[in-house]
Amino acid sequence: TGTVVAGKALLIACERLRERILTRAVRLSGRGAQIDDLSPDGVETSHGCLDFATLLEGGPLAADGRHDGTPRSVSFNVHGFRVAVDTDTGRVKILQSVQAADAGTVMNPAQLRGQVEGGVGQALGAALSEEIVIEEGRVINPQLRNYHVPQIGDLPITEVLFADTYDKLGPFGAKSMSEAPFNPVAPALANAIANACGVRMYSTPMTPDRVWSELQARA
């Protein structure tokens, strides 16, 4: 979301500033000069390069940009797991984890990969172990010893793939990713468990005791 909303606002501001720079360059270059484009040194014209120091002799140039985001830009994520289920204990072991993300133009691959991996880790906690138990409006398991947050050793390596797409609503074609990596994890894991041992889980977390109970009910 930060990349798309803040990035789009920055892009709008930069485009406005570019136009103001070129407008001043036209005024300073004189009649008959052809304005080409901005360069790292200034504005390229048919009379040579008009450097930024000269351009700013008439005072500073500034521009603002604003972007509120749009619900019309939608990202998509799919996840696949390969799992093994211990039918004696109900324990689920993840053997392979892959997520593909449609984020439009990926502005920062390393950062987005980290976002996806973090979302998967968060979702695995919700899918396998994390549960808040509420009775009569009170949380009755407030201790972390009863609320297992995954540690680094609990998480599988997740292979992250990026779809080659473009969204004209975002800066340079980017889409917002935010919490989207979280969404497909639990359903994909439930499907993998069902495929592995024939047990369909309908609630989370899919703890070993719950998987074991479903296995016993099916036996």
Is the pLDDT score of 1 beyond 70? no
- Locate the DSSP E strands across 3-143: 35-39, 42-45, 48-51, 76-85, 92-102, 134-135, 138-139
Q: Determine the 3-state secondary structure of 81 from DSSP.
A: strand
Compute the average pLDDT of residues 138-144: 89
* Mean pLDDT over each residue of the chain, to the nearest integer: 92
Query: Which of 5-9, 93-97, 133-137 has the weakest average pLDDT?
Result: 5-9
Q: Which residue has the higher pLDDT, 78 or 218?
A: 78
Q: Which residue has the higher pLDDT, 68 or 10?
A: 10
Residue 59, φ and ψ in degrees, nearest 5: 115, 160
pLDDT category at 46 given cuts 50, 70, 90 is confident
HSE-CB of 196 using CA atoms within 13 angstroms: 22
Compute the average pLDDT of residues 71-88: 91
Is the pLDDT score of 6 beyond 90? no
Angle at 130 between CA 125 and CA 131, to 5 degrees: 150
Compute the average pLDDT of residues 135-157: 91
Residue 126, φ and ψ in degrees, nearest 5: -65, -35
pTM score of the predicted model: 0.80
Compute the average pLDDT of residues 120-141: 95
Region label for 24, one of left (φ > 0), alpha (ψ between -120 and 50) or beta (otherwise): alpha
Query: Which of 34-48, 75-89, 186-200 has the weakest average pLDDT?
Result: 34-48
Query: Which of 52-61, 85-94, 194-203 has the weakest average pLDDT?
Result: 52-61
pLDDT category at 7 given cuts 50, 70, 90 is confident
Q: How far apart are CA 183 and CA 193, in angstroms?
A: 17
Q: Which domains does the chain have, with CATH numbers?
A: 2-58 (no CATH), 76-218 (3.30.365.10)
Query: Which of 8-12, 78-82, 198-202 has the weakest average pLDDT?
Result: 8-12
